[in-house]
Amino acid sequence: MPHLFALNDDHRAITDMAQTFAREKIAPHALDWDERKHFPVDVLREAAALGMGGIYTREDIGGSGLSRLDATLIFEALARGCPTVAAYLSIHNMCAWMIDRFGDAAQREKWGPALCSMDRLASYCLTEPAAGSDAAAIKMKARRDGDFYVLDGVKQFISGAGVSDLYVIMARTSDEGARGLTAFVVEKDRLSFGANEKKMGWNAQPTRQVICEDCRIPVANRLGEEGQGFRIAMAGLDGGRLNIAACSLGGAAAALDKAVAYMGERQAFGKKLDTFQALQFRLADMAIDLEASRTFLWRAASALDAKTPDATALCAMAKKFVTDACFSVANDALQLHGGYGYLADYGIEKIVRDLRVHQILEGSNEIMRLIVARHLIESRS
């Protein structure tokens, strides 16, 4: 797999396109959007016009038909502008792929094109107030009633909620644990929403409860068969985890760039910061951690592209490794800015706040270890 370590012309073109978009359309506004808690839907639609609304969704419904490796390049590049905006786009892409992959012909035709153009935005709804890490314990009920299902329950922490138009919701159709879950696509007008949560970071996208109260939806909105919901939800997350890790990588790379620039200007004890060897070594360690993260991410993405049996474990490993390492790099970049790193104007503290949640969501990093350990034990000969 030579492309693991050397990008080809297509990869470079995709990266350039996403980097230019991030530099021109996202980065100049990122601090303002964070401060005002503004969700830049218009900019997301501009990204979609360049093919970033359905990156690895098939072309017959308007997707770009790119690989998972391509997606990690795009999300790293976008996150250099703003990890939060890139991360919402990642969730939207995950939902578009789930509908493309598990939807029937009518569902793909009905929702696919509007998702790829981002005329309609999507949210992923798994977590509940009493079921986060243990997703198989979710309680939201989906009761069959003739040609309809009736959903009742609450989803917690849903990114994009209240603004998104379509919601991929996992709900319970039987009491059989993970095997009792079913996936549904629910339109916004059937739902109600909680208040926008006040958060440490990720302020440029809303996070709300999604409330289903006697929510009646046609059977035609069921994604896959009854009982397949857990498998569908987890399949989405394999790629989602790579994308979130790529968002950490882009944020941390931007933080390192800022630190290198700052240390060439700032003086202490009559010398530029970048002449202190202890600090040079810190920079070197940060660069090594970023490169190790990038290499690992590309390896896991290639495994998912090739559908290897260890792909899920590799995605979990990469998500854990990359989001931990990159949070630490961003935090080090803040430290290297001294007191100024703590001020909002320098843009470093925002990156640290944004990257922190990547260690928690799309499966916490403890759960990533659980997946890796399970894989080790199950593949013991």
- Which residues contact ligand FAD by CB under 6 A? 91, 123-127, 132-133, 157-159, 199, 202, 207, 357, 360-364, 366-367, 370
- Residue 250 CB, shortest distance to ligand FAD, in Å, is 18
Structure tokens at 337: 């800015």
CB 134 to ligand FAD: min, Å: 6
Distance CA 381, CA 379 (A): 6
Transcribe 88-119 into DSSP letters: HHHHHHHHHHHHHHHS-HHHHHHHHHHHHTTS
CA dihedral 88, 126, 357, 318 (to 10 degrees): -90
Residue 97 or 346 with smaller CB distance to ligand FAD: 97
Query: Catalytic pick from 76, 128, 349, 362?
Result: 362
As to burial, measured by CB atoms within 10 angstroms (0-12 exposed, 13-18 middle, 19+ buried), residue 89 is buried
- Distance separating alpha carbons of residues 126 and 257, to the nearest angstrom: 36
Q: List 55's β-bridge partners, or say none.
A: none
Amino acid letter, residue 303:
A
Shortest Å distance, C-beta 254 to ligand FAD:
20
Write down the least CB distance from residue 280 to ligand FAD, Å: 35
Is the CB of 259 or the CB of 367 nearer to ligand FAD?
A: 367
Least distance (Å) from ligand FAD to the CB of residue 71? 18
Query: Is-contact 252 290, C-beta < 8 A?
Result: yes
Nearer to ligand FAD, 39 or 346 (CB): 39
CA dist list (Å): 78 to 30, 83, 197, 234, 249: 11, 7, 24, 24, 10
Residue 7 or 360: the one with the smaller Cβ distance to ligand FAD is: 360
Residues 6+ apart with CB under 8 A from 374: none
How far apart are the C-alpha atoms of 300 and 206, rounded to whole Å?
Answer: 29
Residue nearest to ligand FAD according to CB distances in the complex = 132
Q: Which is nearer to ligand FAD, 258 or 358 (CB)?
A: 358
In the annotation, is 362 catalytic? yes
CB of 128 to ligand FAD, least distance (A): 8
Whole-angstrom distance, CA of residue 23 vs CA of residue 15: 12
* C-beta of 225 vs 366, nearer to ligand FAD: 366
Burial (0-12, 13-18, 19+ Cβ within 10 Å), 178: middle
Provide the annotated active-site residues: 362
